[in-house]
Chain A
Amino acid sequence: MQLFRSEVDVQAWSECTGQPIGACFELAKLWTLARTWYDDRLDLDWRRRNIAERQALLTAAGLTGPFWELG
């Protein structure tokens, strides 16, 4: 999970390293996800969210499709 200057740089990095791009998307979606994914970590009764709960958070951030399916 990395941050690149531009999509052009992602493509160049992939060609240079041989690493797959996977998914490339705008920062605003990650910002939405970042504000919800860990919001219970300072709660005493924290528990790992189940797959359905985590999938709902991805969907709410606009991250949908086969790449984003957790199970």
Chain B
Amino acid sequence: MTYSNSRADLRLAIYRQLAATGEVHTPASLAAEFEISPTEAAAELKLLASEDDAIVLLPDSPYIWMAEPFSAVATDYKVTAKDGRHWFGNCIWDALAIGALLDTETEVETRCPFSNEALTLSTNAGELSGSTSAVVQFAVPARDWWKSIGFS
């Protein structure tokens, strides 16, 4: 197995576990799955973030923050599947994308940042229903999205 193929496999393992369980890999859990050391797993995660732009790590750590559209930390964009699995999106865009990526029916729960009114959306194949009169706001122009992905 080449180095790059190994990293591709590792990236896919992260996504498959998130999709199946909502749980995010750590260096130790990847090390166990791929029979490498935790130090090697941490190095691979850093390369996935810096070289492949595939994931985002928490600042100054080897731990995953984002594997877009999934967030490894709780956010105000909760996504729940019919079978009880749940995830968090990094933003409303990502929350809507999770059901589409997994080809599964989801409910997206968030709140209006001004009124705090609950907003709920249901995704099912190509259909979107629920609080569809709500509006989307992007503060950051597209060319600057990756300058501070957390804020964007």
Contacts and interface: CB of A to CB of B under 8 A. Distances in A.
Interface of A: 1-7, 9-10, 12-13, 16, 19-31, 33-35, 37-39, 41-48, 58, 66-71
A47 B131 CA distance: 34
A2 B137 contact: yes
Contacts of A24: 135-138
Interface of B: 8-9, 11-12, 15-16, 19, 52-54, 67-69, 91-94, 96-97, 100-101, 110, 112-115, 117, 119, 121, 123, 126, 128, 131-143, 152
A10 B138 CA distance: 10
A6 B61 CA distance: 38
A26 B135 contact: yes
B54 A4 contact: no
B16 A67 contact: no
